[in-house]
């Protein structure tokens, strides 16, 4: 089950974040990013969604309308009505089981039902799993770029996917 997380889910989301960050090596995430403040802000903005298996939070993604962070380096590429996917993470012991793909599929449906026409994602060149998933889900590669304050992490990549928006009479949001 995937649902919008609430403040009541804060501790479980922070636990997942810490578990994921411990398992990372050469990656764009640092000891300072993302952190508890990012999770808290995502929850307050009602932008954090979680995938649960047997009542356990095993993966999350932030679905946001805010163009910030690494997205700002590519702002000229992202069109209006873009939903940005940020901070997608899966529990290390659940990786390579299709959970990130389920979150992406949910994001496509969420975007269509809420009037978005595009989904935008950025990642760094070393994130092979994310690049593989984005190409598998037919995202369009837009550009690669060195981001000034992120140079140690290599080039960042921007991807976009167009979303088919159903007719208004078919829309019935569940969120």
* Domains identified in the chain and CATH numbers: 2-170 (3.40.630.30)
Model-wide pTM > 0.75: yes
Residue 136: strand, helix, or coil: helix
Among 44, 31, 32, 37, CA closest to 14:
37
Among 92, 77, 71, 14, CA closest to 48:
14
- Separation CA 175–CA 172 (nearest Å): 9
Q: Which two tokens mark 5?
A: 């997380």
pLDDT values of the chain reduced to their tens digit, one per residue, 175 residues = 999 999 999 999 999 999 998 887 656 677 788 889 999 999 999 999 999 999 999 999 999 998 888 888 788 888 889 999 999 999 999 999 999 999 999 999 999 999 999 999 999 888 889 999 999 999 999 999 888 776 666 789 999 999 976 655 555 555 5
Instruction: Give the pLDDT confidence score for residue 155 in this predicted structure.
Output: 86
Instruction: Give the pLDDT confidence score for residue 27 in this predicted structure.
Output: 64
């Amino acid at each position: 089950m995937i649902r919008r997380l609430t403040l009541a889910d804060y501790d479980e989301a922070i636990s997942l974040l810490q578990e994921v960050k411990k398992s990372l090596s050469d990656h764009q995430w640092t000891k300072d990013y993302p952190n508890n403040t990012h999770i808290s802000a995502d929850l307050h903005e009602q932008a954090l969604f979680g995938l649960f298996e047997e009542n356990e939070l095993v993966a999350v993604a932030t679905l946001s309308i805010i163009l910030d962070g690494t997205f700002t380096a590519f702002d000229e590429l992202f069109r209006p009505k873009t939903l940005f996917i940020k901070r997608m993470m899966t529990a290390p012991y659940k990786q390579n089981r299709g959970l990130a793909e389920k979150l992406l599929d949910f994001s496509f449906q969420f975007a269509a039902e809420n009037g978005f026409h595009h989904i935008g994602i950025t990642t760094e060149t070393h994130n092979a799993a994310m690049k593989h998933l984005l190409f598998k889900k037919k995202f369009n590669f837009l550009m690669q770029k060195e981001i000034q304050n992120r140079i140690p992490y290599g080039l960042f990549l921007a991807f976009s996917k167009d979303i088919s928006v159903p007719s208004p009479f078919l829309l019935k949001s569940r969120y």
